[in-house]
Amino acid sequence: MKNVIVIGVAGGTGSGKTTLVNCLKQEFDNEVATISHDYYYKSNDDLSLEERKKLNYDHPNAFDTELMISHIKKLKKGESIKRPVYSFIKHTRLDETEEVKPAKVIIVEGILIFENKDLLELMDIKIFVDTDADVRLIRRILRDVKDRGRDLDSVINQYLTTVKPMHEEFVEPSKKNADIIIPEGGFNNVAISMVIDKIKAFLSQG
């Protein structure tokens, strides 16, 4: 496909990445294909549920990033993909997959997508969503308890033992790879307007 733009949206857990992605999807409608790194967690189906619960899901090794890269390359070529479906309750991939059709705008989202050199090379615009740690923690607690069936103690324990240390080791340093840093993500209307204008300009090129 010609005039395909790949946009990376990174940032810490609960930073507002999804809100920003949804703003872009609303603006460009059916011209957008979205790929989240969260879809590509390794299955670990050789482990029991209790063992899977104890894994570090905020380390780069938790993801099948190679599969994600191959899928992005296919989308850029105009080919549909069947991306994994992951259960955050069972902590494993489900048997079904979901079809993603190629589009002019490919949005890649995840906390660690700027950590991988091969993944970075596929992106035309790299956006880092920068939000205070206390705000991110509150958002994560609300999401994991409401949407992922977690209890408060387990969420806080995971945050202190893996999420926070991995953010400091991998996520925060990857910010240097961003082209644009947006405070508060999807709530920053000025920055969103600038990004939308940039995408429109790219798509209008012959």
Instruction: Report pLDDT digits (tens) over 175-202.
Output: 999 999 998 766 788 999 999 998 888 8
Classify each residue of 57-87 as buried b or exposed e, where b means 16 or more C-beta atoms within 10 Å of its C-beta: bbeeebbbbeebbebbeebbeeeebebbebe
Residue count (the chain): 206
In tens, the pLDDT along 135-157 reads 888 888 888 888 887 888 888 88
CA pair distance 71, 8, nearest whole angstrom: 14
pLDDT of residue 149: 77
5-200: CATH, from 2.40.50.100, 3.40.50.300, 3.40.640.10, 3.40.50.720? 3.40.50.300
Positive or negative, the Cα torsion across 35, 117, 128, 142?
Answer: positive
Here the tokens at position 22 are: 């949804």
Has this prediction a pTM greater than 0.85? yes
Do residues 64 and 93 touch, judged by C-beta distance below 8 A?
no
Domain ranges for the chain = 5-200
pLDDT of residue 168: 93
Please state, rounded to an integer, the average pLDDT across all residues of the chain: 91
Check pLDDT > 60 for residue 86. yes
